[in-house]
Amino acid sequence: MTPPPLTPTNHRKVQLSHITTHSLQDLRQQAAVAAKVFIQRDYTNGTVCQFQTKFPSELETRIDKQQFEETVRTLNNLYAEAEKLGGQSYLEGCLACLTAYTVFLCMETHYEKVLKKIAKYIQEQNDKIYAPRGLLLTDPIERGLRVIEVTLFEDRSLGR
C-alpha cells in the first residue's frame, strides 16, 4: 500500500492509488470516531522547535512507547538541524543579504530543505508504522509548528 514517490510523470498513477487509499481512509474516518491527540511544544530549551517526548496515555494501546518516542526524537533532531546556527547558516545569510535576497529566487533556504526532509520522514513513518496501527501523524507545519497531531482511527484490520 506504499504510495509510489511523487513525480510529475506518475502523478496520475499516484492519484489513482490514492483514491483507493482515500477510500480506505474515508471508511475509517466515516466509520470511526476519530480521536485526536496533540503533542505540544517543549519550551524548556527556549524558542527552538521541539516537541514533548512524553508518551500520551491514549496511544498506549496502539503503539509501542519506544517507537513513538523514537519518532518524536528524530523529528526534534531534524528541527534542530533546520534551526542550527553554524557556518553554513551564516554563510547563507550573508550571501542572501549581499544579493538583496534575490538568491532565493533560484535557491531554497536551508530551513526549507530540512522541512522537505521532515515531510518525507513523516510520510515514511506513517506508511511503515502508524497507518498499520490505525494512526496518522500530521506534519506539524500544517499546524503552524504548534503541535504534532496524531489521529486515532478505529482499529480495523487493513488488508491492503
Partner 1 sequence: MHLGLSESMRDCEYSQISTRTSTPMETPYKKKTPKKRKWESFPGRNKFYCNGRIMMAKQTGVFYLTLVLILVTCGLFFTFDCPFLALQLTPAIPVIGGALFLFVLGTLLRTSFSDPGVLPRATPDETADLERQIDGANGSTSYRPPPRTKEVAINGQTVKLKYCFTCKIFRPPRTSHCSLCDNCVERFDHHCPWVGNCVGRRNYRFFYMFILSLSFLTIFIFAFVITHVIILGLSGFHTYLISSNQTTNEDIKGSWSSKRGKDNYNPYSHGNIFTNCCVALCGPLPPSLIDRRGFIQSETPQLAPPTNGIAMYGATQSQQSHMCDQDQCIQSTKFVLQAAASPLLQQSVEPIILATCLDDGGSLPGRTSLPLGEPCNSLPLVGQPTPPTSNPNLSCHEPAEMLPIHGHGHPHPGVHHHHFLTPEEVPSPPGILPCGSPMGHNHGMPASFYNPASQDSLHEDSVRGLVKLSSV
In the complex, the residues that contact partner 1 under the rule CB under 8 A are 3, 6, 11, 14-15, 18-19, 22-23, 25-26, 29, 34, 36-38, 41, 43-47, 97, 100-101, 108-109, 111-112, 115-116, 119, 123, 126, 136, 138-139, 141-144, 146-147, 149, 151
Q: Is the dihedral of CA 66, 124, 122, 133 positive or negative?
A: negative
Q: Which of 160, 72, 159 is nearest to 122 (CA)?
A: 72
In the complex, what is the shortest distance from the CB of residue 87 to partner 1, in angstroms, rounded to a whole number? Answer: 18
In the complex, what is the shortest distance from the CB of residue 32 to partner 1, in angstroms, rounded to a whole number? Answer: 11
Distances (CA, A) of 118 to 51, 81, 109, 112, 139: 14, 11, 14, 10, 8
Which residues are 35's β-sheet partners?
A: 152
What is the side-by-side strand order in the sheet with 35-39? 35-39, 148-152, 135-138
- Please, which residue, 46 or 87, has the CB nearer to partner 1? 46
- Please, which residue, 21 or 74, has the CB nearer to partner 1? 21
> 43: which residues sit within 8 A by CB, 6+ positions away?
50
- Residues 64, 81: contact at Cβ < 8 Å? no
In the complex, what is the shortest distance from the CB of residue 3 to partner 1, in angstroms, rounded to a whole number? Answer: 7
- Residues 150, 39: contact at Cβ < 8 Å? yes
- Please, which residue, 88 or 99, has the CB nearer to partner 1? 99
In the complex, what is the shortest distance from the CB of residue 34 to partner 1, in angstroms, rounded to a whole number? Answer: 7
- Please, which residue, 70 or 149, has the CB nearer to partner 1? 149
- Please, which residue, 66 or 148, has the CB nearer to partner 1? 148
